[in-house]
Amino acid sequence: MTKPPIYILAIESSCDDTAAAVLENNKVLSNIVARQSIHEEYGGVVPELASRAHQQNIVPVIDVALKKANIDKSQLSGIAFTQGPGLMGSLLVGSSFAKSMALALNIPLVAVHHMHAHVLAHFIEEEGFDKPEFPFLAMTISGGHTQIIKVKSFFDMEVIGETTDDAVGEAFDKSAKILGLPYPGGPLIDKFAAEGNPKAFQFTKPKVDGLNFSFSGLKTQILYFIQKNVAQNPNFIQENKNDICASIQYTIIQILMDKLKLAVAETGINQIAIGGGVSANSGIRATLKEGEQKYGWKTFIPKFEYTTDNAAMIGIVGYHKYLENQFEDASVVSKARIEF
Residues numbered 132 to 161 that lie near Zn ion (CB under 5 A) are: 142
Q: Does residue number 277 form part of the binding site for ligand KG4 (CB under 6 A)?
A: yes
DSSP assigned state of 130: P
Q: Does residue number 213 form part of the binding site for ligand KG4 (CB under 6 A)?
A: no
Q: Could you report how far apart the first and last alpha carbons of the chain are, in Å?
A: 38
Q: Does residue number 172 form part of the binding site for ligand KG4 (CB under 6 A)?
A: yes
Tell me, residue by residue from 307 to 336, as one string, x for binding to Zn ion by CB under 5 A and - for no binding. --x---------------------------
Q: Does residue number 24 form part of the binding site for ligand KG4 (CB under 6 A)?
A: no
Q: Does residue number 12 form part of the binding site for ligand KG4 (CB under 6 A)?
A: no
Helices (H), 11-152: 47-69, 88-105, 114-120
Distance, CA of 12 to CA of 54 (rounded, Å)? 10
Q: Which is nearer to ligand KG4, 255 or 280 (CB)?
A: 280
Residue nearest to ligand KG4 (CB): 277
Buried b (16+ CB within 10 A) or exposed e, 148-167: bbbbeebeebebbbbbebbb
Q: Which is nearer to Zn ion, 82 or 249 (CB)?
A: 82
| Contact window for ligand KG4 (CB under 6 A) among 32-40, 202-210, 229-237, 275-283 | 275-283
Distance, CA of 298 to CA of 147 (rounded, Å)? 19
> Residue 173 touches which of Zn ion, ligand KG4, none (CB < 5 to 8 A by kind)?
ligand KG4
Q: Which is nearer to Zn ion, 92 or 237 (CB)?
A: 92
Cβ 44 vs Cβ 167: under 8 Å: no
**Is 144 a known ligand-binding residue?**
yes
Distance, CA of 319 to CA of 24 (rounded, Å)? 9
Query: How many residues sit close enough to Zn ion to count as binding (CB under 5 A)?
Result: 2
Residue 87, C-beta contacts closer than 8 angstroms, at least 6 positions apart: 14, 15, 45, 47, 50, 51, 336
Query: How many residues sit close enough to ligand KG4 to count as binding (CB under 6 A)?
Result: 18
Distance, CA of 61 to CA of 294 (rounded, Å)? 43
| Contact window for ligand KG4 (CB under 6 A) among 60-68, 209-217, 235-243, 277-285 | 277-285
163, β-bridge pairs? 213
> Residue 328 touches which of ligand KG4, Zn ion, none (CB < 5 to 8 A by kind)?
none
CB of 142 vs ligand KG4, minimal distance in Å: 3
> Residue 12 touches which of ligand KG4, Zn ion, none (CB < 5 to 8 A by kind)?
none
Residue 10, C-beta contacts closer than 8 angstroms, at least 6 positions apart: 20, 21, 22, 23, 79, 80, 81, 112, 311, 312, 314, 315, 318
CB of 248 vs ligand KG4, minimal distance in Å: 10
Q: Angle at the Cα of 121 (from 266 to 28), degrees rounded to 5?
A: 160
Distance, CA of 212 to CA of 165 (rounded, Å)? 10
| Contact window for ligand KG4 (CB under 6 A) among 52-60, 166-174, 226-234, 266-274 | 166-174
**Residues found near Zn ion in the complex (CB under 5 A):** 142, 309
Residues in binding site for Fe cation:
114, 118, 309
**Residues found near ligand KG4 in the complex (CB under 6 A):** 15, 142-144, 169, 172-173, 184, 186-187, 190, 276-278, 280-281, 308-309
Residues in binding site for substrate:
140-144, 173, 186, 190, 281
